[in-house]
Amino acid sequence: MARLLFALIAGGLFGSGLFISGMTDTTKVQGWLDVFGAWDPTLAFVMGGAMIPMAIAWLVAARLRNSALGTPLPPKPSPTIDRKLILGSLMFGIGWGLAGLCPGPAIASLSFGGPGLWIFVAAMLTGMAVAPFLRTRLDKPVAAE
């Protein structure tokens, strides 16, 4: 039950931050990516601001064996940069630039984004459902193809 309460608090903070920062406005996101147009630096402040409490949390977590509620903490990050990471990030980046939406802000805008946003989210969920099949293909060694 406590896990659900803290998940709700975390989600509420995340949703509030996305909304207040302006990241649910696609023009601000596309403005950040538009280096050759009217560049908007807001996203850098959002990202930088978010990394401050998060970096502190990682430093605290490094001294703990478990989370405050007794669940295991995430393992150390993998150092492996593979095809899936790069290809997936390229695909994500193009979609992000096209629509000005990434997964968090898309969900945070559900209540006010209207039909266009809902269509985007439906397509995003479909893409997420297809991803495991793409992943299996990309996991095959190159020589075997």
Partner 1 sequence: MEQDWIWGLIGGLLIGTGGAVYLLFNGRIMGASGIIGGLIDGSAGNTKWERIVFLAGVVLMPVILRPLYHEVDPHISENLVMLVIAGLLVGAGTRLANGCTSGHGVCGMSRLSVRGFAATLTYIFAGGVGVLVFRHLLGVI
Subset of 58-117 contacting partner 1 (CB under 8 A): 58, 60-61, 64, 66-69, 71-74, 77-81, 84-104, 106-114, 116-117
Compare residues 12 and 144 and give the one whose CB is closer to partner 1: 12
Q: For the CB of residue 55, give the shortest distance to partner 1 in the complex, in Å.
A: 4
Q: For the CB of residue 118, give the shortest distance to partner 1 in the complex, in Å.
A: 9
Q: Is 66 exposed, middle or buried (0-12, 13-18, 19+ CB in 10 A)?
A: exposed
142 binds partner 1 per the rule CB under 8 A: no
What's the CA gap between 84 and 92, in Å, rounded?
Answer: 11
Q: For the CB of residue 140, give the shortest distance to partner 1 in the complex, in Å.
A: 14
52 binds partner 1 per the rule CB under 8 A: yes
Q: For the CB of residue 48, give the shortest distance to partner 1 in the complex, in Å.
A: 6
**The two three-digit tokens of residue 136, written as one number:** 């299996």
Q: Which amino acid is at 108?
A: A
Q: Is 135 exposed, middle or buried (0-12, 13-18, 19+ CB in 10 A)?
A: exposed
Pick the binder of partner 1 from 45, 140, 142, 143 (CB under 8 A): 45
